[in-house]
Amino acid sequence: MLKPITQKMTDESEDDVFRFTFYCDICGSAKQSHPFISETEGYGILVDPAQRDREHGDAYERANREMIRSFNRCPVCMRFVCDDCFYLFDDKYLCKECNAAAAHHETSTESHDSMRNEAPKKNYI
């Protein structure tokens, strides 16, 4: 079975309906998969447990693939994040945390470069 695309996922399946909730890897906002109706809906205890497990596994994999289109993957840290945690930085989309790190690095580099371009100060004693 596939590993969930996000670090946190909850299984909210019931007897006849399979549903999963995936959470943004940064802010934790939830996105719920579409409900997947069991082929054996309404059969209750007459259902073969192995059949139910197969249906559950299939529904989980479909939900996981569905969520790949619902979240954004950061190309730096590879986390899946919601739209609110995904920003444009220098013509590249990054998650909020990688964006902040890149902006900090760029600011540090710019201040270091400007110090390098200044004429050396002489000490007159």
- pLDDT of residue 22 exceeding 50, the answer is yes
Integer Cα distance of 71 and 76 in angstroms: 15
More confident residue, 109 or 87: 87
Write the pLDDT tens digit of every residue in 32-89.
999 999 887 666 666 788 888 999 999 999 999 999 999 999 999 999 999 999 998 8
Q: Kindly tell me the number of DSSP H helices and DSSP E strands found in the chain.
A: 2, 9
pTM, two decimals, is 0.77
Count Cβ neighbours within 10 Å for each residue of 68-100 and write b for 16 or more, e otherwise.
Answer: eebbbbbeeeebbbbeebbbeeeeeebbbbbbe
For residue 76, the Cα-to-chain-centroid distance in whole angstroms is 12
Write the pLDDT tens digit of every residue in 74-99.
999 999 999 999 998 888 899 999 99
